[in-house]
Chain A
Amino acid sequence: MWHLFWPSRSFKLLLLLPCLFVGGEVFSQDKAPSPLPRQEIAIDPDKVPGVLYPLEKIVGAQTARFNALESKAASNPASLTSIDITKGLEIEPTYIRSILLHTEPSYLALSRQNKCSFYASLENNLLRGPQGVTQTLPILATIKEKETPEIFSIDRNNFLNLIYKKECTANRDYGVLFQKNNLAKTIESFTFSVPKSEKQCMNLLSEWASNSYLPYLCGIHEKIEDGDRAQLQLSQTASTELLTRRLLGSKIKARNEINEVTTVFQRNYIGALCKGLDDNQKFCAPFLVDEIWPKIIAGEKPAWLIDRRCQELLGKKQLSGQDLITCAGRFKKQPNLCTTVGAKDYPALFPKPNCSELSDALLAEKLVTRYRDCPGNLDNGIITNSFRIWSHFLQTDVQVSPVECAQVPTLNFANESLKVDPKEGWPLSICYQNRASEERECLPYVPGPSKISDLSENVVIKKILVNNFGMGSDSECRILRANEYNPSLLEYKNGCFIIYDDNICTITNCKRKIVLNEKNITGLEFIGTALFSYFPDSIAQTKSTLQSLLAETLKIEAREIRNLTELTFYLKSLKTAIVHGIGCAEEILPSFFQRKYFNQCTPLPFIIDGISNRANGDDVVVRTTLDDIHSPRIIPWNYLFNSVSAFQTQHLLKTWTLYGIKN
């Protein structure tokens, strides 16, 4: 509770001084000589800093005194062999005062726990003077054969080595535990408990505050922050500034080494802890507030829930911890931001839910969504849902650019389907007359560009053109929209271009022409229709359905879900389980789809992955195959139930189409 009595920085100054300097020889201010003029910085009850006496003036005066001290100390470097530590060794009080003014309040709170915490904080670069963290310290010490202490400048590590010989000897061992080689095991040995109530959180924070390892954990956090800052600086540093770049590079390397052996949750938890030592709300609020944003910052919920949206909001490919905090803050303050971010590059149902609804949905969801997709560019919900289900169970983590956002799920479906059924697994082919064999040949393809897949349209067309139309094997086929292709420009004079006529090119709706060295290529026939069954739709079903494909490739078990009780039990008791199915769009999304005809039902696949605590607890977290993967909606269970019931009446086998799946 000590932090509660620290209402202002100036008041802290008053309180901290006696706490730090009373007792302990090293901290004793009473015994120290006062070789520098105190000027007006002396704490006079009549001149209460920050209230009657301007803090700015105090800082100015303190900086002037510090500069004088530093130049004096610098001119007198300490020789370890000449110092007599039995006569006392302490940090010069002016420097201590400057620490009070320049160190983060949270770290000040940490350093004042006890002497050893103070030294550990110093060791871990948590205490800052006017020039930040420095490698040398001004100290008061007495050289052998003399009686009066003098001001010296000493290397910080040397000073701590001297101190640790005498006291706080355990700090040395702690330091070893946090070295590069031991870090993974050390971090693993900690339990980062998530508090469930305010009282529990206060107790937890109090326990952490008295933990001797905490300054070392905060040291790790500072290295991560340093690395993040260095990453930003590096991109703005000229390549000729080799020394600066090397320095920044070493900071980034140190951060990366820490990131390799720690989880996002651990890093965020430690960060929240280190920033919240002076104010319990800073640490506790993220765990206790019923919103997703602070929980992500605190590491209680994974960052991938918002990182793709955050990348788009900030226009960055790589995000630092600070970026996540910025995004979370903006999502919280501007609820409408979530309805539009990324809508153009990754087409999906619009508007998306606002940040408030999104927060409620993300709190309850559990689908793993470390990728992007774009339902607007895909015209078969089976492919969209299958990719989402595979990615959930396989924990897929992939960066998907807007150009390939429809291609990635389709290729995934084609590959999995061909694995199970190499002959009929994928229906789309490009057929041509092979001039060498004089036979008609057909090659399976997936519309859209990809550099890595042999099934992608550009690769398949290249193969045909190389074999049949004399195209050079070192060239590539580029896919372009009609409005991008301008044959009068030099860049389009030579090479292979696949030009899509319409804005949208989907697996069933695409008009294209192929141009090689300015000549239209004819004789290629695109055949097949991308039709698949989600659930069996005939009793004598021979072709695989999505349900059978998932069962075969993921080894998942499916269970029919008939009511809210079953759904709640299934989702809450089975860790990775999700529920998928098909219902009528008019019932699931009545604000988007108007019913105009009798028995109208637009079949819409969806995934349910949570029960929302909002309202009466009978709302479910749903992603339809029209929704952006990062924009789940909260929908009353009744809508879902109605939608599945309505679809059942229109299904060829009158099948109930709501199933839980788990592996």
Chain B
Amino acid sequence: MALKISLTVLLFFTQIAFAKKLPELATKQDVSNIRYLTRDGKYTYYQRRSGDLLLGTNFNVSEILKSDMGTQYYIASSSSSQWIVISQQNNYQQSLDPRLEAKIFRAKKGESSTIEIGRGLNSEVQLDGNWVSFYSPFTRVITIKSLENTQIGFNIQTPTKLNPFFFPDVSMADEQNIFYVDMNEKGESALIKFTRVDGKSKVIFKPEGINRRLELCSGFGKTYLGAFPYQQLDGASEIWEISADKGLTKPIYTSSLPDIGQMVCDHTEGKIFFSKAFKLGKAIRHDIYSLETKDSKLEAISDLRYATSLINFDGLLLIPYQSKFYVPLDQKQVGAKESLSIELKEDK
């Protein structure tokens, strides 16, 4: 027993030690309050405990949205977009349900005036940040709106799902063709293409069985589809490039291991970053890898063993881990560090 406990303790500390090999993101503002930082360091969006969302610039702080204590904000944008999309979730800590809908606002980067554009979840900027998509789980409607003119937009009604907590992933190939991933009432997933001209949805790809989660990812004019298993014990993983004309192409990546996915495709042209599985003894562990879309070359860019997600934070790849954010070991990242106004804590 004593041996077992000491081994467990050792294992626990070993994981922390691994995390220290990567530089950690540090900011002047408390990192946990930050909601968005522009790469040039000009704008910092952060929230207060009181329920307000604020915009900080070099010389000024302005209030963007005001709400009650316990309100949570998220901001979606991209490096190339002039817009930010704000999700405002009231009663965030008292209504513990992933379907809790948020009020969705649009604002220009660096400006404090906002327009409410709808209610829903999973808001994402699309097509170089000129469009936004979001989803309402109770009406099962995907809403797509232009950020420039919010009067322009359209809805996609989706069917009843066997998983009440399933939220479709959306990716606009162009202004006319929209890919989305959905689930039906039998629990089967499918990649669907919605054509705006005729308002029709067509199934492009349906994986066998129900243990395959489909995930969309786009960047640099390309769209990718990942198929990853829900069960973390077994199942294969695949990534394809897809296009509005041809649908699925040959897979650019296959693995017999259960990857998590959470792909980022808009950081470096020709590269997909994702959480990939590897075997460690009897166990399956995950780290972040980069995949070259040309030659399917893989490279590990973290060594955390439990890296399950990553985000593209206005051009900076970040790996959330134990309430901190780590910067992956990637050449471009190191270069990027020089031009960032934010600090990176190096391991000493």
Among residues 131 to 169 in chain B, which have CB atoms less than 8 Å away from a CB atom of chain A? 138-139, 160, 162-166, 169
A620 to B310, CA, bound (A): 24
B-chain residues with CB within 8 Å of residue A649 when the two chains form the complex: 31-32, 323
The answer, yes or no, to whether A28 is at the interface (CB within 8 Å) is no
Tell whether, in the assembled complex, residue B165 and residue A349 are in contact, meaning their CB atoms are under 8 Å apart: yes
Q: With an 8 A cutoff between CB atoms, is A280 at the interface? A: no
Residue of B35, B163, B164, B260 near A591 (CB, 8 A) is: B260
Q: Does A138 contact B (CB under 8 A)?
A: no
Contacts of A605 in B (CB 8 A): 96
Tell whether, in the assembled complex, residue B309 and residue A598 are in contact, meaning their CB atoms are under 8 Å apart: no
Q: Mark B1-42, 1 if CB is under 8 A from A, else 0.
A: 000110011011001000000000000000110111100000
Q: Does B242 contact A (CB under 8 A)?
A: no
B217 to chain A, nearest CB (A): 10
How distant is the Cα of A344 from the Cα of B260 in the complex, in angstroms? 26
Can you list 22 A-B contacts (CB < 8 A)?
A339-B211, A347-B162, A348-B164, A349-B165, A350-B183, A379-B100, A529-B91, A533-B94, A564-B8, A587-B308, A591-B232, A592-B213, A594-B261, A595-B309, A598-B37, A598-B75, A615-B281, A626-B165, A636-B283, A638-B15, A646-B322, A652-B70
Secondary structure at chain A's binding surface: helix, strand, loop or mixed?
A: loop
Q: Once bound together, how far apart are the Cα atoms of A380 and B91, in whole Å?
A: 11
Could you say which residues of chain A place their CB within 8 Å of the CB of B129?
A: none
CB distance from A437 to the nearest CB of B (A): 34
Chain A residues closer than 8 Å to B37, beta-carbon distance: 598
Question: A354 touching B231 by the CB < 8 A rule?
Answer: yes
**Which residue, B91, B99, B165, B229, has most C-beta atoms of chain A within 10 A?**
B165
**Of B8, B122, B187, B322, which is within 8 A of A350 by CB?**
B187
Provide the B252-294 mask, 1 if CB < 8 A to any CB of A, else 0: 0000000011100000000000010000011110000000000
Residues of B within 8 A of A (CB): 4-5, 8-9, 11-12, 15, 31-32, 34-37, 49, 69-70, 72, 74-76, 87, 91-100, 122, 124, 138-139, 160, 162-166, 169, 183, 185, 187, 209-211, 213, 215, 228-233, 260-262, 275, 281-284, 305-306, 308-311, 313, 318, 320-323, 325
Chain B residues with CB below 8 A from A565, complex form: 5, 8-9, 12
Q: With A380-B95, A642-B321 known to touch, is A586 a contact of B232 (CB < 8 Å)?
A: no
Contacts of A600 in B (CB 8 A): 74, 311
Given the complex, which residues of B lie within 8 Å of A615, measured CB to CB? 281-284
B97 in contact with A380 (CB, 8 Å): yes
A375 to chain B, nearest CB (A): 8
Pair B322/A641 contact, Cβ less than 8 Å: yes
Q: Nearest Cβ distance between residue B37 and chain A, in whole angstroms?
A: 8
Closest Cβ of chain A: how far from B54's Cβ, in Å?
Answer: 14
Which residues of chain A are near B36, meaning CB under 8 Å?
598
Q: Inside 8 A of A380's CB, which chain B residues have their CB?
A: 95-97
Tell me the complex Cα distance, A528–B166, Å: 28
B183 contacts which chain A residues (CB < 8 A)? 350
A639 touches B306 (CB 8 A): yes
In order of increasing CB-CB distance, the 7 nearest A-B pairs are: A376-B164, A350-B163, A381-B96, A649-B32, A590-B308, A645-B323, A531-B94
Residues of A within 8 A of B74 (CB): 596-600
Inter-chain CA distance A569–B97, complex, in Å, is 31
One of A12-20, A292-300, A502-510 contacting the partner:
A502-510
Q: Which of A376, A379, A617 has the most CB of B within 10 A?
A: A379
Least CB separation from A509: chain B residue: B138
Q: Assess A504 versus B15: contact at CB under 8 Å? Given A529-B91, A615-B283.
A: no
Chain A residue nearest to B99 in the complex (CB): A379
CB distance from A323 to the nearest CB of B (A): 26
A339-B211, A538-B69 given; 7 more Cβ-contact pairs under 8 Å: A375-B164, A377-B164, A531-B94, A598-B34, A599-B35, A638-B15, A651-B93
A306 to chain B, nearest CB (A): 19
Q: Which residue of chain B lies nearest to A534 when distances are taken between CB atoms in the complex? A: B96
Interface membership of A357, Cβ < 8 A: yes
Q: How far is the CA of A587 from the CA of B211 in the complex (A)?
A: 19
A353: chain B residues at CB < 8 Å are 231
Contact with A594, one of B49, B87, B215, B231 (Cβ below 8 angstroms)? B215
CB distance A563 to B35 under 8 Å? Answer: no
Say yes or no for A421: interface residue by CB 8 A criterion.
Answer: no
Is A648 at the interface (CB under 8 A from chain B)?
Answer: yes
A596 in contact with B122 (CB, 8 Å): yes
Q: Closest residue to B215 on the A side, CB-wise?
A: A594
* A603 near B93: Cβ-Cβ < 8 Å: yes
Residues of A within 8 A of B35 (CB): 597-599
Q: From residue B302, how far is it (CB to closest CB) to chain A in Å?
A: 14
Cα distance A354–B233 in the bound complex, in angstroms: 9
A379 touches B97 (CB 8 A): yes
Whether B8 and A617, one on each chain, are in contact in the complex, defined by CB atoms closer than 8 angstroms, is yes
- In the complex, are the beta carbons of B230 and A351 less than 8 A apart? yes
Residue of A nearest to B286 (CB): A590
- Contact between B95 and A531 (Cβ–Cβ < 8 Å)? yes
Q: A531-563: which residues lie under 8 A (CB-CB) from chain B?
A: 531-534, 537-538, 563
- Tell me the A153-191 residues at the B interface (CB within 8 Å): none
**How far apart sit A626 and B96, CA to CA, in the bound complex (Å)?**
10
A357, A533, A593: which contacts B98 (Cβ < 8 A)?
A593
Given A598-B36, A598-B75, the answer on whether A603 and B96 have CB atoms closer than 8 Å is yes
Cβ–Cβ < 8 Å partners of B185 in chain A: 344
Q: How far is the CA of A380 from the CA of B87 in the complex (A)?
A: 20
Is B281's CB under 8 angstroms from A595's CB?
A: no
A563 CA to B6 CA, complexed, in Å = 13
Residue of B91, B164, B230, B283 touching A504 (CB-CB under 8 A): B164
Complex partner residue of A382 from B96, B162, B209, CB under 8 angstroms: B96
Taking CB atoms, residues of chain B closer than 8 Å to A634 are: 233
**In the complex, chain B residues whose CB is within 8 Å of the CB of A348:** 164
User: A321-339: contact bitstring with B at CB < 8 Å (1 yes, 0 no)?
Assistant: 0000000000000001001
